[in-house]
């Protein structure tokens, strides 16, 4: 009995050992579970897939969102400039943007700033990933290699330009730098000018290697690169010291700006649209004024379209929209559209009277661009006489008044408009560089070069187009909405000083609410004075601005996000004042 038991035990033991052994040897395979539905990095080095990586870099151009808007830049370029209030459901609604508006509470730990920094480097990273693969290929394997390299460097240059103008001291990471060195690369490794040069190099390479036209209209061209390079050189021309004070203006850079702008202008491919409105309507988005455009789309198989979510908060409470009424033109900006009897801006007195009621637009004469830019109570909205702006379209009138922005919004009936959750966005392409920009950069360079007389016809060309852009600004009965009066400047009083003032005014009106104003002010070195003058008056109109104050030497640039300083163990240096 005992023997049989022991035998049985032994038998079981042997069987169990055999089973264990089998399992052990099989374990290697049993525990090998390769991922599904994904691929490794090396599998991408084929012409088709590298082409996909280039598309992926393009895709980054439009991947922004109202948390990190970098196609429209409204919180960074307008809300910080005195052109716009934050808007929304109150000052606490997206408080980080309220802090940007008031320049008081923004800190290195402000959340949206870190997100923005990250998203911009996502764009840089995608470009670097594509470039690394392109560099490995031969022209024979992939005939489009050089063109694609140029496109990708354009995209990288674009993201660096945004980083540079927002944060100033940013680390330069390109495709040659090993990933292991990323955390060892400081944001002050390059001097201010060396960093600008890197950005310029990208556009220079792009300009040299891109074709004048591309078969696919979404790809960047030689002239887009030349225009962008002009923009870069114009920003560089205003030399800043470490306190962000403009100490000199580099004449040779200005010369380059003129030459670069002339190449674009001379190409004959571009011009101002007949009506200012064509730049802000989906129906006319393919127009000759768009030099560099970021494409949007919908009904494209993605969950809610590749629409311009950077503007997703900016639609008003109007029937047909419903949310969220951010990006509200300031009273100061609206007043800037007032013109005198000569049809010229009122440089010194513009803000002494406010355009409030509909009647005010007849007591004063105004630049027609105000009705292309601002939603005004009882004025037709978005060129539709039956779609009249109501006070109820404003969400928190007690804080921010009753206007709304207009340029970036599309009409509720536009097939380009879609609801994304509670938000609204359209497939209207973003015109990142308009021909008007190229013209005014050139004019600005000429004025700073002392060639203001050469600039005069350029400024007047822009004004003339504004003056003639009234056809869509009519009530149902055909009468004009406001008393429009815009005239060209005359040579008589066109001194350099006057021309500079006129140019800067013109930029404000032409590009109002398009996200560039703050960067213009910093470039010119006038941000502190302009904003503190603005707050002095505007706080009497809007109590919430009572503590707002711009600190010179600090607020020209955003703080370097604290998490990024932490990742580098303090290698990144904080911007002054934070």
Partner 1 sequence: MSARRDHLTNHPRDGAMGAMRRMTPMLLLCSTALLTPGSALVAALAVAAAGAPAALQAQEAQQARQTQHRVTGKVTHAVTGLPLEGVTVRVQGSSPAATAVTNTEGSYTILAPSLTDTLVFTRIGIVRQVVAIGGRDRLDVALQPAAVSLSTVAVVGYQTVATEKLTGAVTVANVNEITATPTNSPIKALQGRVAGLSVTAGGDPGSTATVRIRGTKTLGNNDPLYVIDGIPSTSSAAQQIKTEDIQSLQVLKDAASSSIYGSRASNGVIVITTKPGAGQPVKITVGSHLTTSAYATRLQVLNTEERGRALWQAAINDGVDPTNLPIYKYDWTRNPNGTATLNRVIVPEFVGDTSLHIGAANTDWYNEITRPGRIQEHTLSASTSGDRGGALLSLGMYDDQGTVNGTEFRRLNGRINSSYNFFSKRFTVGENLAITHGSGIPMPSGLGGNPLALGLIAQPILPVRTRDGAWAGPSGAGFDDRDNPVMLIDINSWDRNTSLQSFGNLFAKYDVTSHLQANARFGVDYENGLNRDIQRRYRAGFLRRDVNSLNDFNYDNSSWTFNSTLNYAREMGRHSATLLGGFEAVKSDFSNQRTYREGFAIESRDFFVENAGTGLQAVGGDRGGYSLASFFGKADYDYDDKYLATFTLRRDGSSRFGQNNRYGTFPAVSGGWRLSKEPFFPSQYLISDLKLRYGWGKTGNQEIANNAAFALYVPGYGDDKTWGPSNASAYDINGQDRGTLPSGFIRTQTANPDLRWEATTESNAGLDFGLFGDKVTGSLDYFNRTTSDILIRPAYIAVVGNGGDRWANGATMKTSGTELTARYEHTAGALTLGFAGNASAFRDRITGLPAAVVRSYPGNGEQTILGHSVNSIFGYVVQGIFQDAAEVSAAAAQPGKAVGRLRYRDLNGDGKIDVLDQRWLGTTSPKLEYGLAPGASYKAFSLSVFLQGVSGRSVYNGIKSQTDFTSIFTGANFGTRVLDAWTPQNRGSTIPALSLSNTNDETRSSTYFVENGSYLKLREVVLGYTIPAHALPRSMSALDGSRLFVRGGNLFTLKSSGTTLPDPEVPFAAYPLPRTFTVGLDLAF
Q: Which is nearer to partner 1, 269 or 474 (CB)?
A: 269
CA 175 to chain centre: 24
Pairwise CA distance, residues 354 & 501, whole Å: 21
Closest approach of partner 1 to the CB of residue 529, in Å: 21
Query: Which of 138, 178, 212, 299 is in the footprint of partner 1 by CB under 8 A?
Result: 299
The piece of 260-268, 342-350, 493-501, 566-574 that touches partner 1 (CB under 8 A) is 566-574
Query: Which of 255, 468, 501, 568 is in the footprint of partner 1 by CB under 8 A?
Result: 568
Packing angle between helix 435-448 and helix 222-237, nearest 10 degrees?
40
The piece of 252-260, 483-491, 513-521, 563-571 that touches partner 1 (CB under 8 A) is 563-571
Is there binding between residue 110 and partner 1 (CB under 8 A)?
no
Residue pair 318/452 in contact (Cβ under 8 Å)? The answer is no
Contacts (CB under 8 A) with partner 1, residues 34-53: 35-41, 43-44, 49, 51-53
Is there binding between residue 347 and partner 1 (CB under 8 A)?
no
Residue pair 190/172 in contact (Cβ under 8 Å)? The answer is yes
Closest approach of partner 1 to the CB of residue 338, in Å: 23
Query: Which of 272, 370, 399, 558 is in the footprint of partner 1 by CB under 8 A?
Result: 399
Strand, helix or coil for residue 174: coil
Is there binding between residue 537 and partner 1 (CB under 8 A)?
no
Q: Which is nearer to partner 1, 265 or 416 (CB)?
A: 416
> Vertex 87, ends 86 and 89: CA angle to 5°?
130
Contacts (CB under 8 A) with partner 1, residues 162-181: 171, 173, 179
CB-based burial label for 82 (10 Å; 0-12, 13-18, 19+):
buried
Supply φ then ψ for residue 367, to 5 degrees: -75, 130
Is there binding between residue 304 and partner 1 (CB under 8 A)?
yes
Q: Which is nearer to partner 1, 250 or 283 (CB)?
A: 283
Residue pair 219/59 in contact (Cβ under 8 Å)? The answer is no
Total number of residues shown for the chain: 578
Closest approach of partner 1 to the CB of residue 59, in Å: 4
Q: How many residues bind partner 1 (CB under 8 A)?
A: 132
Q: Which is nearer to partner 1, 301 or 478 (CB)?
A: 301
Closest approach of partner 1 to the CB of residue 286, in Å: 7
Is there binding between residue 575 and partner 1 (CB under 8 A)?
no
Is there binding between residue 118 and partner 1 (CB under 8 A)?
yes
Closest approach of partner 1 to the CB of residue 547, in Å: 5
Pairwise CA distance, residues 497 & 18, whole Å: 95
Closest approach of partner 1 to the CB of residue 530, in Å: 21
Is there binding between residue 323 and partner 1 (CB under 8 A)?
yes
Contacts (CB under 8 A) with partner 1, residues 62-81: 62-65, 67-68
The distance in angstroms from the start CA to the end CA of the chain is: 88
Contacts (CB under 8 A) with partner 1, residues 414-473: 416, 419-423, 425, 427, 429
Residue pair 491/453 in contact (Cβ under 8 Å)? The answer is yes
The radius of gyration of the chain's CA atoms, rounded to the nearest angstrom, is: 28
DSSP 489-526: --GGG--HHHHHHHHHHHHHHHTTTTT-HHHHHHHHT-
Indicate the DSSP class of residue 161.
H
Contacts (CB under 8 A) with partner 1, residues 124-163: 124-126, 128-129
Query: Which of 298, 385, 388, 552 is in the footprint of partner 1 by CB under 8 A?
Result: 298
Is there binding between residue 307 and partner 1 (CB under 8 A)?
yes
Closest approach of partner 1 to the CB of residue 40, in Å: 6
Closest by alpha carbon to 114, among 153, 152, 160, 167?
A: 167
Query: Which of 45, 47, 104, 378 is in the footprint of partner 1 by CB under 8 A?
Result: 104
Contacts (CB under 8 A) with partner 1, residues 227-286: 286
Q: Which is nearer to partner 1, 240 or 396 (CB)?
A: 396
Residue pair 262/438 in contact (Cβ under 8 Å)? The answer is no
Is there binding between residue 61 and partner 1 (CB under 8 A)?
yes
- The contacts of residue 547 (CB under 8 Å, 6+ apart) are 102, 104
Query: Which of 83, 93, 202, 510 is in the footprint of partner 1 by CB under 8 A?
Result: 93
Q: Do strands 404-405 and 84-87 pair parallel, antiparallel, or not at all (unpaired)?
A: unpaired
Is there binding between residue 532 and partner 1 (CB under 8 A)?
no
Query: Which of 197, 204, 263, 390 is in the footprint of partner 1 by CB under 8 A?
Result: 390
Q: Which is nearer to partner 1, 297 or 496 (CB)?
A: 297
Q: Which is nearer to partner 1, 249 or 420 (CB)?
A: 420
Q: Which is nearer to partner 1, 71 or 485 (CB)?
A: 71
Closest approach of partner 1 to the CB of residue 177, in Å: 9
Q: Which is nearer to partner 1, 41 or 478 (CB)?
A: 41
**159-163: which pairs have CB atoms within 8 A and are 24 or more residues apart?**
159/60, 159/120, 159/121, 159/123, 159/124, 159/127, 160/124, 160/198, 160/199, 160/202, 161/199, 161/228, 161/231, 161/232, 162/70, 162/73, 162/120, 163/117, 163/120, 163/121, 163/124
Q: Across-strand partners of 434?
A: 290
Residue pair 166/557 in contact (Cβ under 8 Å)? The answer is yes
The piece of 214-222, 349-357, 480-488, 508-516 that touches partner 1 (CB under 8 A) is 214-222
């Amino acid at each position: 009995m005992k023997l049989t038991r022991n035998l049985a035990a032994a038998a079981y033991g042997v069987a169990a050992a055999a089973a264990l052994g089998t399992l052990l040897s099989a374990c290697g395979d049993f525990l090998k579970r390769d991922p599904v539905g994904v691929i490794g990095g090396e599998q991408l080095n084929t012409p088709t897939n590298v082409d996909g990586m280039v598309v992926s870099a393009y895709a980054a151009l439009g991947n922004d969102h109202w948390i990190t808007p970098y196609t429209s830049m409204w919180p960074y370029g307008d809300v910080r400039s005195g052109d716009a209030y934050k808007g929304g459901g109150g000052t606490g609604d997206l408080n980080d943007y309220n802090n940007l508006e008031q320049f008081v509470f923004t800190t290195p730990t402000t959340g949206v700033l870190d997100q923005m920094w990250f998203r911009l480097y996502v764009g840089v990273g995608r470009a670097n990933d594509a470039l690394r693969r392109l560099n490995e290929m031969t022209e024979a394997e992939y005939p489009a290699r050089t063109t694609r390299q140029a496109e990708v460097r354009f995209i990288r240059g674009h993201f660096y330009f945004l980083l540079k103008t927002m944060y100033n001291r940013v680390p330069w990471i390109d495709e040659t730098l090993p990933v292991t060195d990323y955390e060892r690369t400081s944001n002050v490794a390059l001097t201010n000018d060396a960093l600008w040069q890197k950005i310029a190099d990208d556009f220079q390479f792009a300009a040299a290697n891109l074709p004048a036209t591309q078969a696919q209209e979404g790809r960047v061209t030689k002239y887009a690169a030349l225009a962008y390079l002009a923009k870069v050189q114009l920003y560089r021309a205003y030399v800043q010291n470490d306190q962000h004070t403009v100490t000199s203006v580099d004449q040779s850079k200005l010369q380059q700006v003129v030459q670069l702008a002339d190449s674009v202008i001379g190409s004959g491919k571009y011009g101002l649209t007949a009506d200012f409105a064509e730049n802000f309507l989906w129906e006319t988005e393919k127009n000759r004024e768009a030099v560099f455009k970021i494409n949007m789309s919908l009904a494209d198989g993605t969950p809610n379209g590749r629409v311009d979510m950077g503007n997703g908060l900016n639609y008003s409470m109007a029937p047909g929209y419903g949310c969220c009424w951010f990006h509200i033109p300031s009273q100061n900006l609206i007043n800037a559209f007032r013109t005198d009897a000569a049809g010229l801006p009122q440089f010194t007195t513009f803000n002494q009277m406010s355009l409030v009621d509909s009647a005010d637009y007849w007591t004063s004469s105004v630049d027609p661009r105000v009705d292309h830019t601002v939603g005004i109570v009882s004025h037709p909205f978005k060129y539709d006489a039956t779609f009249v702006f109501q006070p109820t379209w404003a969400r928190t009138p007690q804080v921010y008044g009753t206007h709304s922005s207009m340029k970036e919004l599309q009409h509720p009936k536009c097939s380009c408009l879609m609801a994304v959750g509670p938000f609204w966005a359209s497939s209207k392409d973003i015109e990142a560089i308009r021909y008007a920009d190229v013209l005014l950069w050139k004019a600005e360079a000429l004025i700073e070069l002392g060639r203001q007389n050469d600039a005069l016809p350029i400024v007047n060309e822009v004004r003339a187009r504004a003056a003639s852009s009234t056809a869509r600004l009519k009530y149902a009965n055909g009468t004009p909405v406001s008393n429009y009066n815009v005239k060209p400047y005359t040579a008589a009083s066109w001194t350099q000083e006057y021309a500079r003032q006129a140019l800067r005014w013109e930029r404000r009106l032409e590009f109002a609410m398009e996200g560039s104003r703050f960067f213009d002010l910093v470039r010119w070195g006038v941000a502190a004075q302009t904003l503190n003058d603005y707050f002095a008056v505007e706080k009497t109109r809007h109590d919430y601005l009572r503590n707002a104050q711009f600190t010179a030497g600090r607020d020209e640039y955003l703080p370097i996000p604290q998490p990024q300083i932490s990742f580098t163990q303090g290698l990144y240096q904080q911007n002054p004042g934070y």
